[in-house]
Structure 1
């Protein structure tokens, strides 16, 4: 064999071995986990923790204010929820909600729950509702959340009683509307704690119902 032929074979072997080493090292590097500096890794992977307060509020309520969160029902599938001062008053989990109007009374000074009731406005609980509204004690806060159909059997007397509690929308409440409200007896002005959404086939989020409503915040300890 000529010398030039030997050199060619050696050169080919050298090139093959060199290529194999480069590829191996490259693959080894790519399989490694790249570690960022501790300070940089901490800032990029640390999750922002948001402190939750009573009823899941982001900000705490001031002194002489109560925390609350109210959600209306979603269509006729998911019932409403009421939280007051971190106490779940009504919810589907507690199995104490029903179609129509879900109402809770809370002591406006201490925040203690006085009572909770459900009135089926489709089957005709209107007499019981009117009696209940007339007997609300002075100084009590009234929490209301709709579910499915709150207004089919609503009459003028009940609407007027809700208006006296500070509602701006009770007179409009109708078939399958969404409504959440906090009021008190004999308010001088309308309550600032109220949301209302009309049942409208053109704008409904669900097939036959409007979107559920959620309201949260801080209500004064004494009737506002």
Structure 2
């Protein structure tokens, strides 16, 4: 009886020890599973890309307007103009034409006042001269070429564009690419202009240079 009692005592102790070890392991496992979400919470959150007006590479400062201009691609794809996230002219809107595409924007409010296209290959330049002469102070002038902007451009038109701040209007010719933003009677040349000469040796398209893109930030008060 004593021997069997001893065996029962040993078995009881073994059972208690086994149970204690199991409980310790179970609690340890639970602690790890409880801490896991906290560890997962330390993973960096997904970075959100900030959207900019007109898709600019970076946002404009306060009290500045955002804009993006694209010239036409050969005589196939028309130009586009975006101002303060508003698409003013584009092939999608079906309001662009061969020659020069021009939009007038209020330099204080950013309100679009007028947009027009002028055929500079077969059209008469008289309408463009009248349009440019009627531009008021404080108005921003956005220009994008398409196909041929220079064939019908005379000295009067070149001078009018130069007075708006253009550095390249006087050399603009047949099938050149040109994008420009200026304003009336600037004291200096506009910093917003790109020009590419039609040159058979460097043209990207057969008979035309590549399209140009110009983006930037314009202060609300004209230059």
Q: For this structure pair, what is the TM-score category when the shorter chain's length is used for normalisation?
A: 0.7 to 0.9
Q: CA deviation at 1:222?
A: 1.3
- Is contact 1:177–1:198 with CA below 8 Å preserved after alignment? yes
Q: CA deviation at 1:212?
A: 0.1
Q: Secondary structure at the match of 2:108?
A: coil
Q: CA deviation at 1:47?
A: 8.4
Counterpart in the other structure of 2:211: 212
* Superposition pairs of residues 22-37 of structure 1, within 5 angstroms: none
1:64 aligns to 2:72 (yes or no): no
TM-score by length of 2: 0.79
Counterpart in the other structure of 2:80: 81
Counterpart in the other structure of 2:144: 145
Q: CA deviation at 1:64?
A: 1.5
- C-alpha distance in 1, partners of 2:143/2:67? 12
- Is contact 1:55–1:83 with CA below 8 Å preserved after alignment? yes
Counterpart in the other structure of 1:128: 127
Larger radius of gyration: 2
Q: Secondary structure at the match of 1:161?
A: helix
Q: CA deviation at 1:124?
A: 2.4
Q: Secondary structure at the match of 2:72?
A: coil
Cα-to-partner distance string for 1:194-214 (whole Å, 9 max, x where unaligned): 000000000000000000000
- C-alpha distance in 2, partners of 1:209/1:86? 29
TM-score by length of 1: 0.78
Cα-to-partner distance string for 1:23-74 (whole Å, 9 max, x where unaligned): xxxxxxxxxxxxxxxx8xx99xx98753221101132111111000000000
Q: Secondary structure at the match of 2:182?
A: strand
Residue segments in structure 1 that go unaligned for 5+ positions in a row: 1-38
Q: What root-mean-square deviation, in Å, do the aligned CA atoms of Structure 1 and Structure 2 show? A: 1.7
* Superposition pairs of residues 93-132 of structure 1, within 5 angstroms: 93-132=92-131
Counterpart in the other structure of 1:154: 153
Counterpart in the other structure of 2:200: 201
Residue segments in structure 2 that go unaligned for 5+ positions in a row: 1-39
- C-alpha distance in 1, partners of 2:206/2:221? 40
Counterpart in the other structure of 2:177: 178
- C-alpha distance in 1, partners of 2:142/2:163? 14
